[in-house]
Chains A and B, each alone.
Chain A
Amino acid sequence: MSAPVLALDNIEKSFGALRVTQGVSLDVRPGEVHALIGPNGAGKTTLVAQIAGALRPDSGRIRFRDRDVTGLGVAARARLGLGRVFQLSNVVGTFTALENVAVAIVAAGDRPFGPWQPALRDPALGDEAAAALARVGLADRAETRASDLSHGERRALELAMSLVQDPKLLLLDEPMAGTGRAEGERLTELLLSLKGRVPMLLVEHDMGTVFRLADRITVLIYGSVAVTGAPDAVRADPVVRKAYLGEEEAV
C-alpha cells in the first residue's frame, strides 16, 4: 500500500478541561473512503476542523500528501488540495449557484487578482462553473441565489465547489444531515461515483450511507479512537455495539 494521503499522529486538543481530541491517530489511504463515526459530541467536527487548519491541535502532527501541514493555515492547506464540506452548509448565500462555483474556481486558480475583465463574462470560467453544476445535478439552478436553494441543493452546491478545485482529499462533515430522502440518495450516488478517485474522510450519522461508501471505519468515542477497521469488523466489535451501534443493529 502506498503512503497515506492524510496521516494524523497522536492529535490532542482540549477546550479548557474538556479533552475533545485524545491521542487520535488515523490515516486516509489513496482512493479510500474512510468513515469517521461516533455519538453526538464525540469530537468529530473538532477533529475535522483541526485537519482543515481552522483549529490548532495542542500537540501531535498532521501530514497531508507527504508534507507536515500542522503549522499551515486553512487557505494554505486548501491550496494543497484539502477540500472541506462543512456540517452546516457553507456557501455565499447572496451569490447565485454559478457565482459560488466561480468563486471556488478563481480562489484556487492562479489569477485571483485580475482587476479588469468581468469575471462572469469570461466564457472559460462560466463554462467550467456550469459543467460543475451539471455534474451535481444543479444545471437548471445556476442563476438561483444560494440562499434560495433547498438544503440538499446547497450541499450539492458545496460539493460542486469542492470538486471544481480538483481536491486530493475531501473532508465531508455529515453531508446527508437535513437532506430529504431523494436528495440524500442523489448525494450518496454522487459520492459513490467519486469513490476510488477522490479519497474522502466522511463524517456521517446515517449508517446506511456509511456502510455503502466506507472502505474503513473509525469510531470516535469521547474524543479517542475506540476502533478502526473494515466495516464488517467494526459492525461486529462489541465495544462499538455497546457504545454506539446498539440501535442501528438492523443495518
Chain B
Amino acid sequence: MAQSVPTPRRAAGVRLALHPAVVGVLGFAAALAIAHAGGSVYGATLVARTALLALAAVSLSFLIGQAGLVSFGHAAPLGIGAYVVLIAGEYGVTEMLVVLPLGFAAAALFSVATGAVALRTRGVYFIMITLAFAQMIYYVAASLSAFGGDDGMAIAARSTLFGLRLLKSDTGLAMLAVALLGLALFGLDRLIASRYGLMLRAGRANEAKLQALGLDPYRHRLIALAIGGGLAGVAGVLLANQVEYVSPATMNWHVSGELIVMVVLGGTGRLAGAVLGAVAVTLLDETLGHFTEHWKLGLGLVIVAVVLLRGADLKALLRGGAA
C-alpha cells in the first residue's frame, strides 16, 4: 500500500494545505457552515455525529492499516469513553478538560491491558480475542445497575468547556469534534512517518525480517493499541455528549463491525480513507435508513463490491496484517 510519507520535494506550504487533516477539517467546517446558514439543527447534529464516528474509524484505521492489528473490539474503548462521561457526571464532574483526558486514559488502559494478552496471538486469533474482550466489557457495563444496567441511562448534563456551556448546542459539539478529528489526523500522520511509525509499519509488512534486524515490535504494537484505544475513548466522550445517553449497546459487536466497515470501505492504506468511509456509512444510514430498516443489507452488498474491487485489502485483513 502506498504510504503517506510526505515527499520532501513539495513545498511545505502546499504540503500543509493538502494535508488530509486540513482538507478534512475544511470539508466538515463547510458542511457545518452550510447547515448553520440554513438554520438546520439537524445538519449540525449530523456533522457532529459523522465527525466523532470518523475519529473512531481513524483510530481503528491506524491499528488496522498501519500497525496490522485487526481489532474486532474497537467498540469497547468507544463505549468506555462514553461511560466515563456518564460515571463522571454522576459524581458531578462535567468539565471536558477533565472528562476528555479521563476518557482517553480509561480506554487506553483497557486497550493495553487486553492487548498485552491479545498480542500473543496473530491473524484470526487476534480478531477473535479482541472481540471476546469487547463482549466481556459489554456484559460488565450491562451489570452496572447504578448506571442503568442493560438499558443504560441519560447523562447528568453535557460537558462544559472551560467551565462554559459551549457544547450545549450540537454546533458547538460539532466544532469540537471536527477540531479533534483534525488534530488526530495530523498527529497520527506525523507518528506514522516517524521512527516509531517506520518500525510499526515494518512490523506489519514483514515481522520476521524486523525481528532478524533486531527489533521485536511488541512494545510498538502495545503503544499503538494505547493510542488507537485512547482516541476511540475520546470519540466515545463526544458520542455520549451528542446522544446525551449511554448504554451498553455502544459496546456491542455490531458497532465494532460497523467501524471496520468504515475503515475497509475507505481503504486501509490511508487514515483519510476512514474519514470517507465514516461519511459514506453515516450518510447511507441517514438516507436509506429512513426508507427501510433493512438498508444494511444494501450496505453489505456495497461492501462486498468494494472489498472485491480492493481484493488486496481483504487479503491483508484476513492475514491480520502481520504475516
Q: Contact residues of A with B, CB < 8 Å?
A: 52, 54, 73-75, 78-79, 84, 86, 90-95, 99, 102-104, 106-108, 111-122, 161, 165
Distance (Å) between the CB of A62 and the closest chain B CB? Answer: 16
* Among B3-11, B28-36, B177-185, B289-297, the stretch in contact with A: B3-11
Complex contact B215–A93 (CB within 8 A): no
Docked-complex contact A52 and B198, CB < 8 angstroms = no
Measured CB to CB, the closest approach of chain B to A111, in angstroms, equals 6
B197 CB-CB contact with A under 8 Å: yes
Q: Which 4 A-B pairs have the closest CB atoms?
A: A78-B214, A114-B195, A107-B215, A107-B213
Question: With A94-B205, A103-B202, A106-B199 given, is the CB distance from A52 to B194 under 8 Å?
Answer: no
Question: What chain A residues lie within 8 Å of B211 (beta carbons)?
Answer: 54, 73-75, 78
Question: A95 and B212: CB pair below 8 A?
Answer: no
Q: Which of B197, B206, B219, B220 has the most CB of A within 10 A?
A: B206
What is the bound-complex CA distance between A52 and B212, given in angstroms? 8
Interface contact tally, CB-CB below 8 A:
109
Contacting A117 at CB < 8 Å: which of B194, B201, B202, B220?
A: B194
Q: Are B214 and A79 in contact (CB under 8 A)?
A: yes
10 A-B pairs with C-beta separation under 8 A: A73-B216, A91-B206, A104-B213, A106-B195, A112-B220, A115-B194, A116-B190, A118-B6, A119-B197, A120-B5
Q: Determine the chain A residues whose CB is within 8 A of the CB of B219 once the complex forms.
A: 113
Taking CB atoms, residues of chain A closer than 8 Å to B214 are 75, 78-79, 107-108, 165
The minimal Cβ–Cβ distance linking A106 to chain B, given in whole angstroms, is 5
Specify which of B1, B5, B213 is in contact with A108 (CB 8 Å cutoff): B213
Contact, CB under 8 Å: B190 / A118: yes
- Picked from A91, A95, A118, the residue with its CB within 8 Å of the CB of B193 is A118
A118 touches B206 (CB 8 A): no
A90 / chain B contacts, CB cutoff of 8 Å = 206, 208-209, 212
- Known contacts: A73-B216, A78-B214, A108-B214. The answer to whether A92 contacts B209 by CB under 8 A is yes
**B139 touches A (CB below 8 Å):** no
Residue in A closest to B219 when the chains form the complex, CB atoms: A113
Given contacts A84-B212, A104-B213, 14 further A-B pairs with CB under 8 A are: A52-B212, A74-B211, A75-B211, A75-B215, A86-B212, A93-B206, A99-B5, A103-B198, A106-B198, A108-B215, A114-B196, A115-B194, A118-B194, A165-B214
The residue from B193, B194, B199, B208 contacting A103, defined by CB atoms under 8 A apart? B199
Q: How far is the CA of A74 from the CA of B201 in the complex (A)?
A: 19
The CA-CA distance from A116 to B188 in the complex, in Å, is: 10
With contacts A114-B195, A115-B191, A119-B197 taken as known, whether A107 is within 8 angstroms of B210 at the C-beta atoms is yes
Q: Within 8 Å CB of B5, what residues of A?
A: 99, 118, 120
CB atoms of B195 and A92 under 8 A apart: no
Q: A121-B8, A161-B213 are in contact. Are A94 and B3 (CB under 8 A)?
A: yes
Give every chain B residue within 8 A of A114 (Cβ-Cβ).
194-196
For the complex, give the distance between the alpha carbons of A75 and B1 in Å: 26
Q: How many chain B residues have a CB neighbour from A under 8 Å?
A: 30
**Smallest distance from the beta carbon of A91 to chain B beta carbons, Å?**
7
Q: Is the CB of A107 within 8 A of B208?
A: no
When distances are taken between beta carbons in the complex, the residues of chain B under 8 Å from A113 are 195-196, 219-220, 223
- Name which residue of chain B comes closest to A118, CB basis: B193
User: How far, in whole Å, are A161 and B5 apart by their CA atoms in the complex?
Assistant: 21
Q: Are A94 and B1 in contact (CB under 8 A)?
A: yes
Docked complex: B247-261 residues within 8 A CB-CB of A:
none
Report the bound CA distance from A73 to B195 in whole Å. 23
> Contact between B198 and A99 (Cβ–Cβ < 8 Å)?
yes
Asked if A119 meets B1 with Cβ closer than 8 Å, knowing A75-B216, A79-B214, A95-B205, the reply is no
Taking CB atoms, residues of chain A closer than 8 Å to B194 are 114-119
* Option from B193, B208, B216, B220 in Cβ contact (under 8 Å) with A119: B193
- Distance between A159 CB and nearest chain B CB, rounded to angstroms: 13
B67 CB to closest chain A CB (Å) equals 14
A244–B8 Cα distance when bound, in Å, is 54
Whole-angstrom CA separation of A92 from B203 in the bound complex: 9
Given A106-B198, A116-B190, the answer on whether A92 and B206 have CB atoms closer than 8 Å is: yes
Contacts of B223 in A (CB 8 A): 113
B-side contacts of A52, CB under 8 Å? 212
Residues of B within 8 A of A99 (CB): 5, 198
| B201, B209, B219 interface centre (most CB from chain A within 10 Å) | B209
CA distance A184 to B86 in the complex (A): 67
A114 to B194, CA, bound (A): 6
Partner among B190, B195, B209, B212 whose Cβ is within 8 Å of the Cβ of A112: B195
As a 0/1 sequence over residues 207 to 249 of chain B, the CB contacts with chain A under 8 angstroms (1 = contact) are 0111111111001100100000000000000000000000000
CA distance A161 to B206 in the complex (A): 14
Give A146 Cβ to nearest chain B Cβ, in Å: 10
CB–CB B212/A117 < 8 A: no
Once the chains bind, are B193 and A107 in contact (CB under 8 Å)? no
